[in-house]
A and B are shown apart, each in its own frame.
Chain A
Amino acid sequence: QKEVEQNSGPLSVPEGAIASLNCTYSDRGSQSFFWYRQYSGKSPELIMSIYSNGDKEDGRFTAQLNKASQYVSLLIRDSQPSDSATYLCAVNDPDYKLSFGAGTTVTVRA
């Protein structure tokens, strides 16, 4: 079992819609969780971090964490063509080793 798993995608949404990305992790002791955005040919860029259960909002992005279910999600509201990218879920284990999922590719249709 992979340490971090994401819905495989690709995910295609119309402009203005909500894109929903899911991630599960295997190490119950994990403490910190991140979403990175990666444009094609570019390096990962941090967009959200979350450390406690519940929701965290930053602009059009909302991260949700449920440690009991070992589940992290990212919602992108009012999706824009510029949001078209691969989104990587990353989880720090108790030793602060960051493990990444394979990513979900999102395409926003104009």
Chain B
Amino acid sequence: EAGVVQSPRYKIIEKKQPVAFWCNPISGHNTLYWYLQNLGQGPELLIRYENEEAVDDSQLPKDRFSAERLKGVDSTLKIQPAELGDSAVYLCASSFSGKETQYFGPGTRLLVL
């Protein structure tokens, strides 16, 4: 069974530029999560989707971050404009439901210069 797929794996951009990350969850997983992980810290939830509905986006900085999960499968996380402090690893995870174990993708490592 294929795991969570993310792309790109690495991204280097200049500040104020836009950037987008893509995630394809494990087949059949209805719940999808985006996390941010800073160096030396645990992942922090940005947004959680149940199918195509964002059920928890309380930690998403909505002035510059946006996300979508059209058709309840793939998801895209966007930052516009990027700031230096956005440099981090962006992890996507999925689970059968919000109550089940989460499985993580390989992450996208973002560096903002």
Which residues of A line the B interface, CB within 8 A? 4, 32, 34, 36, 42-46, 49, 88, 90, 92, 95-103
- Which B residues lie within 8 Å of A43 (CB)? 91, 104-107
Contact B45 A44 (CB under 8 A): no
Is B28 on the interface with A (CB-CB < 8 A)?
no
Q: Are A100 and B56 in contact (CB under 8 A)?
A: no
Chain B 46-66 per-residue mask, 1 if CB under 8 angstroms from chain A, else 0 = 001000000010000000000
Determine the residue in chain B with the shortest Cβ distance to A49: B101
B99 and A44 within 8 A (CB): no
> Are B42's CB and A90's CB within 8 A?
yes
Q: Which B residues are CB-close (under 8 A) to A88?
A: 42-43
A45 touches B45 (CB 8 A): no
Q: Is chain B's binding surface mostly helix, strand, loop or mixed? A: loop
Cβ A102 vs Cβ B102 within 8 A: no
Q: Does B72 contact A (CB under 8 A)?
A: no
In the complex, whether B85 has a CB less than 8 A from a CB of chain A is: no
Return chain B residues, CB-CB under 8 Å to A45: 104
CA distance A95 to B41 in the complex (A): 22
B41: chain A residues within 8 A (beta carbon):
102-103
Interface residue from A49, A92, A95, A103 paired with B42 (Cβ < 8 Å): A103
For B105, the chain A residues whose CB sits under 8 A away are 43
Query: Is A100 in contact with B101, judged by CB distance below 8 angstroms?
Result: no
User: Given that A34-B101, A43-B91, A46-B101 are contacting pairs, would A97 and B45 also be in contact in the complex, using a CB cutoff of 8 Å?
Assistant: yes
Please indicate the chain A residues that have their CB under 8 angstroms from the CB of B101 in the complex: 34, 46, 49
